[in-house]
């Protein structure tokens, strides 16, 4: 633990990851941006570090995010990892453009990684340029803060800085940086790197580190590693329950993008479902649809199996298999819990699963807006207000019957209608981070107008609360703007 003064604050630095030693990372230095400009910053993310809102316009913070200055006495590092990418094993990846600037403990004692994405070349850059473009930095910033507001586990985003440095992608764009916060940047792929290079001493060191830092509650178990694998599986199930309930498609669920603490990590070509299309593939580079929306749970289990392989030296195979077998039913139970909340159902009843499945089939056939539908349910104070929805859809009788069944389940005799509405509105966003909305702010930001991204951030970090004059943001995306093509290019 090291105390340091920075920008008028007393910070508690804990170089826990660096202490693992030289096998785990390489020392690096950020490449400073030139012409650095603030794009957007998150007060809520800063608060996780106990940093006050006033800090967000300080030149010292701008210099840090622009890679122009460092915390005194803390050496940035790039982590080494590997990973299964689209099913094939890549023996060495690592932070190719991100650098761990510091690990800080907040007043609660929580450890937070400060990771600068787009910080320049590292020994793991392979043939990449070490840069992140403004477009993808804005996308990750907005999505991190929106998922957090939806109660879905995620890494966080503290700020984005733009520059005048050109970067070649399909078009020439500008280089940007994103200061990302996460409880951990250890990925499933970290374990795979040490396992497949047969560095078992380091593998066990990494396991002990993750146990101590992130799963201390497992230390008392008969086999702490077995308990930790089960806990990682549990957190991954919670993550997938959140994604599936809100129609979030990650797009690139490779094992190097899977966080060991079960947070959404490495936002790329992500999308929220517009209409309910279960087989939707948001990443135009994912030709086989490996990471289609309705395959995400299966792919998470696949990734946990890959991780489980690296635990075989410390956990019996049968125990690993039991955890893996329990994953999908556990995810399903957590998903149904979230969906019951979205539907305003109190308690748990035998017919709930069927009610949810029937709704999903209707939404798919009727091509209704997925998230918008739940909000409409939450806003109605009488079933009569909802029946016109059925009249306008292609399966009117099915939807009408469903609405009646839902109403009698959600509104048993004696339930207070406004209590149901309030409960539903606290979990059903009015504003959903649709790709077309992000795209509008990116186009403005390219002209150095950052007000639209700041405004969208405000709405999306408080997505349940209506703001006067913002009706446009609550609308479903126009059909011609849906399915925006997104690739891994970032
Ligand atoms: P991603 O698909 O963004 O999760 O990245 C996969 C791997 O490629 C990771 O090791 C990244 O650090 C690396 N990478 C992605 N983009 C770049 C880039 N522009 N320069 C260097 N490395 C990169
Ligand atoms: Mg990645």
Asked if 155 and 47 count as a contact pair (C-beta separation under 8 A), the reply is no
Task: Identify whether residues 460 and 418 lie together within a single domain.
Answer: no
Q: What is the mean pLDDT of residues 257-264?
A: 98
Q: Identify whether 192 is part of a domain.
A: no
Distance CA 308, CA 440 (A): 42
Per residue in 61-94, pLDDT (tens digit) is 999 999 999 999 999 999 999 999 999 999 999 9
Pairing mode of beta strands 25-27, 132-133: unpaired
**Matching residue, tokens 């792919």:** 299
The vertex-185 CA angle with 293 and 432, nearest 5°, equals 40
Distance CA 248, CA 282 (A): 10
Q: Which of 301, 320, 341 is a domain's end point?
A: 341
Distance CA 172, CA 375 (A): 39
Cα–Cα nearest to 405, from 355, 356, 361 = 355
φ/ψ of residue 257, rounded to 5: -110, 10
Exposed/middle/buried for residue 365 (C-beta within 10 Å: 0-12, 13-18, 19+): middle
φ/ψ of residue 14, rounded to 5: -135, 105
Would you state the pLDDT for residue 81? 98
Q: Is 97 in the pocket of ligand 1 (CB under 6 A)?
A: yes
* Res 402 pLDDT > 90: yes
Note the maximum CA span of the chain: 68
Would you state the pLDDT for residue 483? 83
Q: Identify whether 210 is part of a domain.
A: no
Residue 40's CB: how many other CB atoms inside 10 A? 28
Q: Whose CA is nearest to atom 14 of ligand 1?
A: 96
Asked if 432 and 371 count as a contact pair (C-beta separation under 8 A), the reply is yes
Q: Identify whether 213 is part of a domain.
A: no
Task: Say which ligand is closest to the CA of 257.
Answer: 2
Query: Is 94 in a helix, a strand, or coil?
Result: coil
Domains: count for the chain? 4
Q: What is the mean pLDDT of residues 150-169?
A: 98
pLDDT band for 485, please (50, 70, 90 cuts): confident
How many angstroms is it from 82 CA to the middle of ligand 1? Answer: 12
- 332, two tokens: 């399903």
Per residue in 107-158, pLDDT (tens digit) is 999 999 999 999 999 999 999 999 999 999 999 999 999 999 999 999 999 9
Distance CA 357, CA 278 (A): 12
- Return all residues near 85 (Cβ < 8 A) that are at least 6 apart: 254, 255, 256
Task: Identify whether residues 46 and 153 lie together within a single domain.
Answer: yes
Per residue in 346-392, pLDDT (tens digit) is 999 999 999 999 999 999 999 899 999 999 999 999 999 999 999 88
- 185, two tokens: 């940047």
Q: Identify whether 208 is part of a domain.
A: no
Asked if 182 and 156 count as a contact pair (C-beta separation under 8 A), the reply is yes
Q: Is 91 in the pocket of ligand 1 (CB under 6 A)?
A: no
Would you state the pLDDT for residue 57? 87
CA torsion 397-399-403-405 (nearest 10°) is 70
- Return all residues near 369 (Cβ < 8 A) that are at least 6 apart: 274, 275, 476
E strands present in 62-171: 77-79, 83-85, 88-90, 98-105, 111-117, 132-133, 156-168
Q: Identify whether 486 is part of a domain.
A: no
Q: What is the mean pLDDT of the chain?
A: 97
Task: Identify whether residues 170 and 229 lie together within a single domain.
Answer: no
pLDDT band for 488, please (50, 70, 90 cuts): confident
Would you state the pLDDT for residue 484? 77
HSE of 78 in the Cβ direction (CA atoms, 13 Å)? 22
Distance CA 371, CA 388 (A): 18
Task: Identify whether residues 75 and 11 lie together within a single domain.
Answer: yes
Per residue in 4-19, pLDDT (tens digit) is 999 999 999 999 999 9
How many angstroms is it from 117 CA to the middle of ligand 1? Answer: 10
Q: Identify whether 281 is part of a domain.
A: yes
Q: Is 145 in the pocket of ligand 1 (CB under 6 A)?
A: no
Task: Say which ligand is closest to the CA of 117.
Answer: 1
Task: Identify whether residues 299 and 351 lie together within a single domain.
Answer: no
Q: What is the mean pLDDT of residues 415-425?
A: 97
E strands present in 7-82: 9-13, 25-27, 37-41, 77-79
- 161, two tokens: 């800085």
Domain of residue 63 covers 2-185
Task: Identify whether residues 233 and 113 lie together within a single domain.
Answer: no
Would you state the pLDDT for residue 257? 98
Task: Identify whether residues 281 and 146 lie together within a single domain.
Answer: no
Q: Whose CA is nearest to atom 15 of ligand 1?
A: 96
Asked if 150 and 459 count as a contact pair (C-beta separation under 8 A), the reply is no
**What is the set of active-site residues?**
256
Q: Which of 315, 341, 367 is a domain's end point?
A: 341
Note the helical H segments in 26-123: 43-48, 59-65
Distance CA 410, CA 420 (A): 8
Task: Identify whether residues 283 and 302 lie together within a single domain.
Answer: yes
Task: Identify whether residues 180 and 298 lie together within a single domain.
Answer: no
Per residue in 434-477, pLDDT (tens digit) is 999 999 999 999 999 999 999 999 999 999 999 999 999 999 99
Pairing mode of beta strands 83-85, 88-90: antiparallel
Query: Is 229 in a helix, a strand, or coil?
Result: helix
Which ligand 1 atom is nearest residue 132's CA? 19
How many angstroms is it from 96 CA to the middle of ligand 1? Answer: 5
Q: Whose CA is nearest to atom 8 of ligand 1?
A: 96
Q: Which of 324, 341, 358 is a domain's end point?
A: 341
Cα–Cα nearest to 90, from 211, 252, 283 = 252
- 173, two tokens: 């764009």
Task: Identify whether residues 378 and 285 lie together within a single domain.
Answer: no
| Alpha-carbon dihedral sign for residues 431, 144, 61, 177 | negative
Q: Identify whether 487 is part of a domain.
A: no
Give the DSSP per-residue string, 257-289: G-BTT--B----S-EE-SB--TT---BTT-TT-
Task: Identify whether residues 56 and 169 lie together within a single domain.
Answer: yes
Note the helical H segments in 24-169: 43-48, 59-65, 134-150
Which ligand 1 atom is nearest residue 98's CA? 12
Q: Identify whether 197 is part of a domain.
A: no
Which ligand 1 atom is nearest residue 268's CA? 3
Would you state the pLDDT for residue 323? 98
Would you state the pLDDT for residue 447? 98
Task: Identify whether residues 242 and 355 lie together within a single domain.
Answer: no
Q: What is the mean pLDDT of residues 192-221?
A: 98
How many angstroms is it from 193 CA to the middle of ligand 2? Answer: 14
């Amino acid at each position: 633990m090291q105390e340091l003064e920075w920008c008028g604050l007393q910070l508690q630095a804990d170089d826990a990851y660096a202490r693992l030693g030289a096998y785990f990372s390489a020392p690096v230095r950020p490449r400073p941006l030139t012409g650095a400009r603030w794009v957007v910053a998150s007060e809520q993310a800063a608060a996780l570090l106990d940093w006050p809102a006033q800090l967000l316009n300080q030149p010292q913070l701008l210099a840090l995010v622009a890679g122009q200055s460092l915390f005194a006495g803390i050496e940035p590092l790039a982590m080494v990892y590997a990973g299964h990418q689209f099913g094939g094993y890549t023996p060495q990846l690592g932070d190719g453009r991100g650098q761990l600037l510091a690990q800080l403990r907040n007043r609660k004692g929580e450890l937070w990684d400060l990771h600068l994405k787009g910080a320049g070349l590292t020994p793991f850059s392979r043939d990449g340029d070490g840069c992140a473009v403004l477009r993808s930095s804005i996308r990750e910033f907005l999505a991190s803060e929106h998922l957090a507001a939806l109660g879905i586990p995620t890494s966080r985003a503290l700020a984005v800085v733009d520059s005048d440095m050109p970067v070649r992608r399909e078009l020439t764009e500008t280089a940007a940086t994103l200061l990302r916060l996460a409880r951990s940047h250890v990925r499933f792929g970290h374990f795979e790197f040490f396992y497949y290079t047969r560095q078992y001493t380091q593998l066990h060191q990494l396991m002990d580190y993750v146990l101590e830092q992130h799963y201390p509650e497992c230390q008392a178990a008969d086999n702490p590693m077995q308990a930790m694998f089960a806990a990682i599986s549990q957190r991954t199930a919670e993550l997938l329950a959140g994604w599936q309930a809100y129609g979030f498609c990650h797009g690139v669920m490779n094992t190097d993008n899977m966080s060991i603490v079960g947070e959404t990590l490495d936002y790329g070509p992500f999308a929220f479902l517009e209409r309910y299309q279960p087989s939707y593939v948001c990443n135009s580079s994912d030709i086989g649809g490996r990471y289609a929306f309705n395959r995400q749970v299966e792919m998470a289990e696949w990734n946990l199996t890959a991780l489980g392989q690296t635990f075989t030296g410390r956990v019996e195979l049968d125990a690993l298999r039991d955890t893996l077998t329990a994953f999908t039913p556990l995810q399903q139970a957590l998903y149904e819990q979230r969906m019951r909340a979205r539907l305003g159902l109190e308690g748990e009843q035998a017919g709930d699963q069927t009610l949810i499945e029937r709704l999903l089939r209707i939404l798919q056939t009727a091509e209704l807006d997925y998230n918008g539908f739940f909000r409409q349910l939450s806003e109605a104070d009488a079933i009569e207000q909802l029946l016109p929805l059925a009249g306008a859809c292609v399966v009117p009788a099915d939807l009408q019957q469903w609405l009646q069944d839902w109403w009698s389940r959600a509104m048993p005799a004696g339930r207070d209608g406004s209590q149901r509405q309030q409960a539903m509105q606290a979990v059903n966003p009015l504003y959903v981070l649709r790709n077309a909305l992000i795209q509008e702010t990116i186009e403005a930001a390219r002209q150095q107008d950052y007000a639209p991204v700041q405004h969208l951030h405000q709405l999306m970090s408080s997505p349940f609360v209506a703001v006067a004059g913002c009706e446009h943001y609550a609308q479903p995306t126009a059909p011609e703007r849906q399915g925006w093509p997104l690739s891994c290019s970032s």
